[in-house]
Structures are given as structure tokens and as C-alpha cells.
Amino acid sequence: MHEGPARPPDTPANPPPGEGPTRAQPPAEPPAAEPPPAAAEPPREPRPVVEVPPPATVEDVRSLRRWLVVTGVWALAATAIAVIALVIANRIDEEKLSARSGNQIRAAQRSLEDRIDDLEARVAKLPTSDDVSDLDNRLRQVETRTATASDRLEGLSGRLDGIEQQVEQLEQTQAETQTETDTEMPGNVAP
């Protein structure tokens, strides 16, 4: 078993507890004396005596406790007010953001509605399928007529070529008859 800190052996200088002199031993060295005051130093003013306040009473402790409770309540109230103000500020910011987003959405919606109205007006001006069908029929008729006219032009061109050949032949025959007539006539002398 452990008996506590080790003690030096019992000697007359260290008697066991409960034995020996009860009187305090004088210090081995005398205290150092203060040096005599210098002649040049001015006299010092005496230090003011500091009065020690009386010890706190039970009523003082109770009063202090009450004031600590009041301070704690005020701190809690201030914290609660700060939290409420923060929540309200966040709500206001969210409402502003929501209102701004709502305004942007409404503006975009109006813009889209205007564009849709413009497109609907343009589509309304476009021809219907019946109109396209009628136009297609007209184009077929024009193509048919054009083909017929082209065929007729080719026929006329062939006829015109035939007429031109006949005119050339007539001119040739007329020129030949003219030269024959000129050579048979006696009054005509060639130069």
C-alpha cells in the first residue's frame, strides 16, 4: 500500500508530527535593513488608505442574481427581435424577387402573345389548301396551253420554212425567166 509522500527520516530538526517544539523557528538570516533616505529626495506623501468594502451580504447576492436574470431576459429578447427582423427582411427580399420575377414573366408572356398574334395574322393571310389546289389546276391548264401553243408554233415554223423555200424557188425561176427573156430580145444589147 502507498502511504503518501516520502518523508525524510526522523531527526531532531524534523521531528515526527505532533512532537517537538510548537514555536516557530527564527529565520537564519536577519532581514536586510532599509538604506537611509538620501538627503536629496523630497519627502514622500503618505499613501491614501484604501478602505476595503464590507463583505457581500446574502441580500447583495440575491440582488446580483436578480440583475443577472434581468440581463439574461433582455439578451434573449434582443436576440428574438434580431431573429424576427432577419426573417422579415428575408421575406421582403423574397417578395421583391418574386414580384420582379413575376413582372419579367408577364413581360415575356406579353411578348410571346404579340408574336403569336402576328404569326396567326400572317397564317390567316396565306392561301388555303383549296386556293393552292385551284392554283395547281390553273398551272396545269397553262402548261397544257403552252405545250399546245409550242406545238402550233413548230407547225407554223415548218410552214413558214416551206413558204420561204417556195418564195426562193419563185425568185429563182423569175430570175431565170428574166435572163432568158433578156437574151431572146433583139433590141437589147449587152454593154
pLDDT of residue 38: 54
If pLDDT is split at 50, 70 and 90, which confidence band does 96 have?
confident
In percent, the amount of the chain with pLDDT more than 90 equals 30
Q: Provide the percentage of residues in the chain whose pLDDT is more than 70.
A: 74
Q: Tens digits of per-residue pLDDT, 123-142?
A: 888 888 888 888 899 999 99
DSSP string, 46-96: PPPPPPPPPPPPHHHHHHHHHHHHHHHHHHHHHHHHHHHHHHHHHHHHHHH
Minimum mean pLDDT among 24-38, 105-119, 148-162: which range? Answer: 24-38
CA distance 130 to 122: 18
Kindly write down the DSSP assignment for every residue of 1-24, as one continuous string.
Answer: ---SS--PPP-SSSPPTT-S--SP
Q: Chain centroid to CA 116: how far? A: 28
pTM given for the model:
0.30
Answer whether residue 35 shows pLDDT above 60. Answer: no
CA terminus-to-terminus distance, the chain = 180
Residue spans of the domains in the chain: they are: 66-126, 128-171
**Contacts of 20 by beta carbon, 8 Å cutoff, 6+ apart:** 12
Q: Higher-confidence residue: 85 or 44?
A: 85
Tell me how far apart the alpha carbons of residues 3 and 6 are, in angstroms, rounded to a whole number: 8
